[in-house]
Copies of this chain bind each other. A is one copy, B any other.
Amino acid sequence: MSSDREQAAFEAGIKLGALYHQWVGTPISRATAASVETAIEQAVGLQPYVEEIHVTLDREMMTANPFGYSELAGAMFSVEITTQVGTARCVADLRFTGEYPLMSIRSIDETA
């Protein structure tokens, strides 16, 4: 079987994979980025085992195309999520390494 720690890691992975593929491709600009951040945080916050979620989208990368806007790309995401299963808490993130939008486990702890 799997432990609470493993399940907390699994749940964190689900949410990061899900949000990436749900929102990539959204039309976006520096003026509208906050509305997308809020929508992502609220949507992910509904899902099971999510304790906290913070989403920041890199406005520097939102350069205007010929029609004056940009498109949400994987490289723009900076996300930190905390999941909890039983007494295990997993903090994981999605950050652009400069080459790849990498999803990683930051820590897994047992809450007393």
A73 to B43 CA separation, bound complex (whole angstroms): 14
A85 to B67 CA separation, bound complex (whole angstroms): 14
As for how many copies of this chain the complex holds, the number is 4
Give the number of residues in A that approach B within 8 Å (Cβ atoms): 54
A7 to B108 CA separation, bound complex (whole angstroms): 11
Closest 4 pairs (CB-CB, A-B): A13-B13, A17-B17, A17-B18, A39-B39
Q: Is A46 an interface residue (CB 8 A)?
A: yes
Encoded as 1 (CB less than 8 Å from any B CB) or 0, chain A from 77 to 112 comes to 000000000000010100001011001010110000
Encoded as 1 (CB less than 8 Å from any B CB) or 0, chain A from 1 to 34 comes to 1100111011111111111111011111101100
A28 to B40 CA separation, bound complex (whole angstroms): 10
- Please name all residues of chain B whose beta carbon is closer than 8 Å to the beta carbon of A100 when the two chains form the complex: 65-67
Q: Contacts A2-B9, A14-B16 given; indicate if A35 touches B32 (C-beta within 8 A).
A: no
